[in-house]
Structure 1
Amino acid sequence: MKKLSPFIYLYEPVTIITTHRPSLETPKLILIASWMDAQDLHIAKYITHYQSIYPTSKILLVKFVLKESVSASFTRKVVDPALVYLHSLIDSGTLSSSPPQPEILVHIFSNGGSATTRTLYQLFRAQTGYAFPLHAAVYDSCPGVYSFTSVYSVFMVNFSGLVARAVAAPFVSILVLWFWIWYRPLKILSGEDFLSANSRVHNDVDLVQQTNRSYIYGKADVMVDWRHVERHANHAAAKGLVVRREMFEHGPHVSHMRTDGDRYWKIVKETWKKGTMRH
């Protein structure tokens, strides 16, 4: 993949295979918003599978790196090269700003990917005056909302071994408690926390124009509570969005493909197909 920035990577097919010409059955662009601090080796498994099922699609990867995304202003700078590329596709006529059917498939992973795409949606509207182009979307292990156990689990994943976890536990607990105080009793000072912002924006039909979306989530996920995902799906459906819910009973966080790859990719392909069939 071509490196557009430390956080943005692009894959463009070199040749068009005559038996796989672009059509409604193939996204013109697949936008992948990876989970927080995702390793390239793990992201590559999704990239290569997309290359195999949609060989003519461009793939735009946007990474979320926690230490580089500590502020909203920096997150905007992180995603800016992705926006520049999207604008170039629209300006060249490769993508339409208001397509009659979806040309983009957005694949969002965890709260990191939710924050990335939330910023893309907001900035696109701010820069153009209209919503991000019509698309279909897959939400993998997201979006979540603040809870002590979920945020605690996110921080503790960085510590392996009984001794390291025992030492880290009280400090992590204090940190998570401080976040709760800062974003709940002191909300008038802190403003909206980024998890709440993710949930709100992804169900804002003025910002997010989707033909349909699929939620893939699991009861074994200790970082994003499956009940929070279902609540978000219910809110989306109540606003008129076409929603599909896919529970992986034993699926850990962003590991549903590994739990049942055949089922996972069937959901992805059917999500895209449903979006194109609606128009």
Structure 2
Amino acid sequence: MMQKLSPFVHLYEPISSVKGQHTDLEAPKLILVASWMDAQDLHISKYITKYQSIYPTSKILLVKFVLRESIFASSTRKVVDPALVYLRSLINSGVLSLSPPRPEILVHIFSNGGSATTRTLYQLFRDQTGCAFPLHVAVYDSCPGLYSFSSVYSVFMVNFSAFLTRLIAAPFITAIVAWFWIWYRPFKMLSGEDFLSANQRVHNDMNLVKQTNRSYVYGKADIMVDWRHVERHADQAAAKGLAVRREVFERSPHVSHMRTDGDRYWKIVNETWKKGTTRQ
């Protein structure tokens, strides 16, 4: 059962952790899950339940990305703030270290929504503490992407499943996506950086993001995030000296790689964590 810290932030604390009993030194002290845009609780719970199974002593902090609440940067900060308050309380109490010799946190990021959530968390942490987010290991599932007409169109159209509603919605969605392109391309001097470009930039800013290693899990059948955008981001991270692992799922759609091959998926997660916490 997860404790509700806010409408968009939930916390799971294992009984052993609450009572101060022995914890597994090889497990993450905290698992931060940043879910994809408007993810349903039923789908998120499959990841939470699995984490509870493989890392039973780990705290799990879930931060949801809900489009209507996160459409502006200021509202995203309000959504993320309860998670930041909790994280800082763990550091202040000594449960987590601000500068650990090895990672104590596993960050699991889903899609562009989760990328925006964690990007905001990284930026706010630096603003409030003057320090980078503590050293951690990260898994990027189906992200981060960049703007393209087809991918953004697909994101909006996913909410319309029936043929007739898709037919009616299509011209309106086309107009919205075209407006985005005009606002963030020809009028970029006025609009500033779009949030997808900001995601890509911040997640490869080594002054903000301190990671030992990261894994990208992505698919060539994904119509919402272009796999080539993910690989471009991975290349940039590797060029900056970060240990990068690429795992391509040929046939699974957006954030469906676990459902396609769960054994392979969780093997990647577990090996990613072990690589970051094993002394070389």
Query: What is the TM-score when the length of structure 1 is the normalising length?
Result: 0.98
Query: In structure 1, what residue type is equivalent to 2:67?
Result: L
Mapped to 2, the partners of 1:48 and 1:75 lie a distance apart of 26
For 2:111, the equivalent position in structure 1 comes to 110
Mapped to 1, the partners of 2:208 and 2:21 lie a distance apart of 36
Instruction: Assess, with a 3 A threshold, how the Cα gap between structure 1 residues 182 and 199 changes in structure 2: closer, same or farther.
Output: same
Mapped to 2, the partners of 1:277 and 1:15 lie a distance apart of 24
SS in 2 for 1:133: strand
Measure how far apart 1:21 and its partner are: 2.8
Query: In structure 2, what residue type is equivalent to 1:178?
Result: W
For 1:254, the equivalent position in structure 2 comes to 255
For 1:192, the equivalent position in structure 2 comes to 193
For 2:69, the equivalent position in structure 1 comes to 68
For 2:210, the equivalent position in structure 1 comes to 209
Measure how far apart 1:278 and its partner are: 4.1
Residues 1:244 and 2:214 aligned together: no
Q: Is the 8 A contact 1:211 1:278 kept in 2?
A: no
Query: In structure 2, what residue type is equivalent to 1:111?
Result: N
Query: In structure 1, what residue type is equivalent to 2:90?
Result: L
SS in 1 for 2:139: strand
Measure how far apart 1:15 and its partner are: 2.3
For 2:126, the equivalent position in structure 1 comes to 125
Residues 192-222 of structure 1: CA distance to partner in whole angstroms, max 9, x if unpaired?
0000000000000000000000000001100
Matches within 5 A, 1:213-232: 213-232=214-233
For 2:23, the equivalent position in structure 1 comes to 21
RMSD across aligned C-alpha pairs, in angstroms?
Answer: 1.4
Q: Is the 8 A contact 1:218 1:251 kept in 2?
A: yes
Mapped to 2, the partners of 1:270 and 1:119 lie a distance apart of 27
Residues 5-33 of structure 1: CA distance to partner in whole angstroms, max 9, x if unpaired?
0000000001269997320x200000000
Mapped to 2, the partners of 1:267 and 1:19 lie a distance apart of 29
Mapped to 2, the partners of 1:102 and 1:72 lie a distance apart of 28
**Runs (5+) with no aligned partner, structure 2:** none
Mapped to 1, the partners of 2:100 and 2:242 lie a distance apart of 18
Residues 88-121 of structure 1: CA distance to partner in whole angstroms, max 9, x if unpaired?
0000000000000000000000000000000000
Query: In structure 1, what residue type is equivalent to 2:23?
Result: R
Mapped to 2, the partners of 1:200 and 1:7 lie a distance apart of 25
**Runs (5+) with no aligned partner, structure 1:** none
Mapped to 1, the partners of 2:92 and 2:85 lie a distance apart of 10
Q: Is the 8 A contact 1:20 1:55 kept in 2?
A: no
For 1:8, the equivalent position in structure 2 comes to 9
Instruction: Assess, with a 3 A threshold, how the Cα gap between structure 1 residues 181 and 11 changes in structure 2: closer, same or farther.
Output: same
SS in 2 for 1:4: strand
Mapped to 2, the partners of 1:227 and 1:179 lie a distance apart of 21
Percent identity between the aligned chains?
A: 79
Query: In structure 2, what residue type is equivalent to 1:174?
Result: A
Query: In structure 1, what residue type is equivalent to 2:202?
Result: V
For 1:35, the equivalent position in structure 2 comes to 36
Instruction: Assess, with a 3 A threshold, how the Cα gap between structure 1 residues 217 and 20 changes in structure 2: closer, same or farther.
Output: farther
Mapped to 1, the partners of 2:66 and 2:176 lie a distance apart of 19
Compare 7-16 and 171-180 and name the one that shifted more.
7-16
Q: Is the 8 A contact 2:16 2:22 kept in 1?
A: no
Q: Is the 8 A contact 1:141 1:254 kept in 2?
A: yes
